[in-house]
Amino acid sequence: MKLKTNYEEIVNVANIATEGNAGHVGEVLTLAGQEKLRPAVRDGKRVLLIAIDMQNDFMEGIGSLPVPGSKGDVERLTRFIYGNMEGITDIMCSIDTHYPQQIFHPAMWADKDGNQPDPYTMITYEAVANGEWTVAVGLPKKALECLKALEQAGKVGVLVWPYHCLIGTNGGALEAEFAKIVHFHALARKSKPQFVFKGTDVYSEMYGIIEPEYNPEGFVNFQVLNAIAGDNADGQFEIHYDEIYLAGEAASHCLLESGAQILKRFANHPEVTQRITILEDCTSPVTGFEQQAKDAFDDFKKQYGIQVKKSTEVQLV
């Protein structure tokens, strides 16, 4: 069914990732309420879109940790959603959520003179054990355990990022134009959007949507996994979507790790992994990590049978 509302009435491309853009969601919801689309619950083919960390702090031009290409990703993803409004059953958005005093933020660490590290400093177990860096906030033992575990896993250490996605700040909010179309879809299709908050563990990074990088408690985000597939009341494995699409920021970090974690969890179920597609033109890598993302996507295709496509190559309706 053709939408009554034009794309331009929902998304103002010129306002993507601009300071002070509030999004005017109320006006968009009024328009959505006038649509007469099929309710998502009646979809014959069920489709899930998982949007990773489409937040202001990852947007070029306004973010504290901007991903080059992110503004274009927002435009292409919003156009994909608009063009497939009646084909996308559900939208799930991950929300990176942090506090200032976390192991990957400057406030956690101090040198011998009490100075915080500059962003992009690598904190290693050896440097902390030698007294080059000390834990300024929190429990030193817990921080050292994390660094030691990362070292044993073959990782260098913890990279200090600029402060980003702090809870309650504009940087942690969804990019406003993207948020508008997510809520438009929710009302027009009578489909409740799913929001997954990640990254509040003080002593670990959480790039992926399923579990943190350092995970002694064995936390697993079953909200995401069970949304995709799981055992039903009769104990039978049931897949809840015919197609699953991944997009968002950044291709080299949070999207990549989210994809890897989902694929690992369903590694014994190729009937799930082969339903997954990465929208390669709706995600961009951090500068310097372009090849890492490309190599990982190629590996996903070979090992798990996923697809990597441009959003313009996918037509759901």
* Nearest-angstrom CA–CA distance, 105 and 244: 33
**Cis omega before residue 250 (within 30°)?**
yes
Residues in the chain with pLDDT values less than 70? 23
What length does the chain have?
Answer: 317
Question: Mind listing the pLDDT tens digit for each residue in 2-43?
Answer: 899 999 999 999 999 998 877 679 999 999 999 999 999 999
**Residue-level pLDDT at 183:** 98
* 123 shares its domain with 243: no
Domain boundary among 140, 159, 178: 159
Domain span including residue 150? 106-159
Q: Could you tell me the pTM of the whole model?
A: 0.96
**Residue-level pLDDT at 317:** 80
**Residue-level pLDDT at 280:** 98
* 149 shares its domain with 172: no
Domain boundary among 115, 142, 159: 159
* Domains in the chain, number: 2
**Residue 89 carries which DSSP code?**
-
* 269 shares its domain with 221: yes
* 27 shares its domain with 144: no
CATH of the domain at 40: 3.40.50.850
Flag whether 197 is in a domain.
yes
* Nearest-angstrom CA–CA distance, 311 and 317: 13
Flag whether 17 is in a domain.
no
Question: Residue 110 belongs to what H/E stretch?
Answer: strand 109-110
Residue (of 209, 216, 20) closest to 97 by Cα position: 209
Q: Provide the percentage of residues in the chain whose pLDDT is more than 90.
A: 96
Torsion (CA) 175, 180, 182, 185 in degrees, nearest 10 = -170
